[in-house]
Every structure is written in structure tokens, then in C-alpha cells.
Amino acid sequence: MKKLAGKLICLCICMLLSISTISGVVKAAPEGGNNPSGETKGNINVDASSAILIEPNSGKVIFEKNSHQKFAPASVTKIMTMLISMERIDSGKMKLSDKVTASENAKKMGGSSMLLDTGEVRTVEELLKGIAIASGNDAAVAMAEYIGGSEEAFVKLMNDEAQRIGMKDTQFKNCTGLSAEGHLTTAYDISLMSRELLKHPQILKYTGTYMETISEGRKSPIGLVNHNKLVRFFKGCDGLKTGFTDEAKYCISATATRDGIRMLAVIMGAPSFKVRNRDASMLLNYGFSKYESKKVLTKDMDIEKINIDKKGEKYYIVKASADLNVVMEKGEEGKITKKCFLDDNVKGFKKGEIIGFCEVYLNGKPCGKIQVYCDRDVKKMGLWDNFKSSISKVFDGGI
């Protein structure tokens, strides 16, 4: 009887272990796909309502969860405010040294602030610091009024820009991210405007700063502290923007670089700042584990031999003018191809002269290009030269 009871107990234990194992297998989705709830990819579990991880150079989506579902973005909105500002700076329409006078409207903004006073004069660069570091609503409105003439006019610029870069599920109602009916976007759309902002690397000087003090022209200096704590605690993090309102919960567009690779993660609707930072860190680390930077062209390396005559006795070598690194998924190095585009409208080249460019492709898609130069002085053959070469080839038995 005791032996039978022992066998029954062992059988029960084995059944429980089997159920537990099966349950564990069902819970974890296979690598490269999400489970039905859209929450798990491999061993990644994002608690926030929505998320996306992309490799910003190519725009490839590595992970996503409800990435096209609309949510309030809170102060992550200010990525668009900074984008429009940086576009004007880099195009020469506005300077970092331009003086901006804060209005009463800017001063009275609630929420995060850089404590601007009515009539206070600050430079465009100081306002960018106020927006990027302290998430100052007053700084954002002052910048919007300076660029657009009014916040309302600036918001139209924001929505026009959103349409231009493909943010199909976004509608901005203000330049700050303060709660407003219909002020909505998606994690995917935020990734689009974040990628655009990254095309203006000067902004990372501000978004990647943890603390800054602005004292010039102020009776009491103000210390700006970055709301994005990952800038301080996550290796390589240099932006971009956090956000919080009761409606939006905790949001972030976080970017970081390691070993020549940049990753971008967007989190929306996290229940706490700890969950937001944990989810963003987890996604960034996942991206870094999957990608690598490979040098596919080295400065002065031979890229292609170009024959000048039909016999191939006269030729020149196309050489790389610089190194070119490509960010790719690990194991994809064999999927790299390249093609040279040369200037055919000139009669000859001089040694070292730039003669075109070489474009590199990953899986058939452009992923980078560099200029190329000629390794020697070259005089291209004319019609008569080609005729003589053909005749010579006939007598040599080449045809």
C-alpha cells in the first residue's frame, strides 16, 4: 500500500512538472515574432502600453508592441518642437545666438519650466537647453512664438512636418505636450520624428546633457536637470525626450550608441518612471545584442578595375576616399553588395581626383556611400582610339 501511494505521489509530481514546462513554452513567443497580445518577443516582456525598437539608420523595426495605437505623448511632443528648431538652425534661417524675448504667454505655462520671466531675453541655444534638458514648457512656447509668430501658427508647422515625414496617426494641438483633446500620436510615429531629429546631431549636445546651469542675465541662476535619467545611468544614452501627464502616463524616446551602433526605443503609457526606464533599457540592450558595425570599405582600398581599351591593357583603379562602416544584423555581412557610379562626361581624370561615388547595399537596400578617386592620370579613349584598339585586337586573333 505504501509503495502504491509513493508511486501515485511521484506520478502527480511528474504531471505538475510537465504542465509547468508546457506553460513556460507557451508563454514565450518564438524568436522574431510576437505572441497574440503583442507583448513578448523572445524573452522580452514590455509592460508599457506601447513600444517600438528600431535601428535608426535603416529604420528597421526590431521589436514592437501596439506601435500604431494612438496615445497621448506628453512632453515627447517636444521632439517635434526641437526638430523644427534644428531644421531652421541647420538651414541658416535661425542662429543659436539669436535673441528671443519671453512673452507673458510663455511665462504662465504650467508644468515643467526653466522659470522664464515676462520680457526675459534668452538665446535660441539657451531655449533649446531649456526644452531638451528641463523639458521647459515656457521654453517651448517662447521658441514656438519666435519661429511661428504664435503657438497656434507653430502648431500648424508641426502638423505639416508630421505629414511630410509620414506620421499618419499624429495630430498635434500644442508644442508642449500638455493634455489637450485630440493631441495624439503613436510609438511608430514618434520613432519617425526621432529619426528625423537624429539627422541634426547638434541636438544631442543638449539632450545628452544631464545638468546645466544658466546664469547670464539672471539674478538667480537656474539649474537644469535632465528628466531622462538614462542619460546618466545607461551607457551611451544621449537622448532624446521623456514625458509624463496623468493621461499619457510615462513616455520616452530613448537613444544610445555603443561600438558605432545607434539604437532608438520608444515607450508609451508606462505605469511608472521605473517601468518606463526599465523597458527602454531592456529594448536598447536587446538591439545592441542583435546588431554590429562592420567596416565594409577602407580608405584607399581598391574597389573596381575599369578597362579603358577593349583589350584590357589600359585601365585604372577606382579607390575608396574614406572608410565606410555599415550597421547590420549579426551574420548579414555576406549580404553586402556595392556599385560604383562614375562621371562619364569628362575626357580624363587626374591621379587622386574624385571621380564619383560607391554606394553600398545591404539586402539590396542602400545603406551608405562614399566618394571614390582615380589611382592614376587617365586619358579616356576617343572614337579613333577605340577603332584602332578593335583593329589591333583582330590582328592579334582576339576576335
Please give the pLDDT value at position 218: 82
Residue-wise pLDDT for 344-356, tens only, equals 776 788 899 999 9
Give the chain's mean pLDDT.
86
Residue for cell digits 584607399? 300
Nearest to 324 by CA among 279, 347, 277, 358: 358
Catalytic residue check, 293? no
Exactly one of 49, 50, 58, 75 is catalytic; which is it? 75
CA–CA dist 378, 351 (Å, integer): 8
Domain ranges (residues) in the chain: 44-290, 298-395
CA distance 375 to 369: 19
Radius of gyration in angstroms for the set of CA atoms belonging to the chain, rounded to a whole number: 29
Tell me the three cell numbers of residue 129: 537647453
Q: In whole angstroms, what is the distance from residue 152 CA to residue 81 CA? A: 13
Q: Which residues contact 204 (CB under 8 A, 6 or more apart)?
A: 198, 238, 239
Q: Which class is domain 44-290?
A: alpha beta
150 is catalytic: no
Residue 93 identity? K
| CB-based contact 291:329 (threshold 8 Å) | yes
- Structure confidence at residue 312 as a pLDDT band (50, 70, 90): low
Q: Which of 41, 65, 78, 249 is catalytic?
A: 78
Beta strands 315-320 and 336-342, pairing class = unpaired
Asked if the model's pLDDT at residue 391 lies above 50, the reply is no
Question: Taking a C-beta distance cutoff of 8 angstroms, is the pair 258, 327 a contact?
Answer: no
**Which of 50, 135, 191, 281 is flagged as catalytic?**
135
- Residue 272 has, within 13 A of its CA and on its CB side, a CA count of 3
pLDDT tens-digit profile of 362-386?
988 898 999 999 999 888 655 444 4
Q: Is 194 a catalytic residue?
A: no
What pLDDT digit, counting tens, does each position of 177-202 carry? 999 999 999 999 999 999 999 999 99
pLDDT digits (tens, 9 = 90+) for 224-256: 999 999 999 999 999 999 999 999 999 999 999
Q: What is the tens place of the pLDDT at every residue in 48-107?
A: 999 999 999 889 999 999 999 999 999 999 999 999 999 999 999 999 999 999 999 999
Give the model's confidence band at 398: pLDDT under 50 very low, under 70 low, under 90 confident, else very high: very low
CATH of 298-395, one of 3.40.50.720, 3.30.200.20, 3.60.60.10, 2.60.410.10: 2.60.410.10
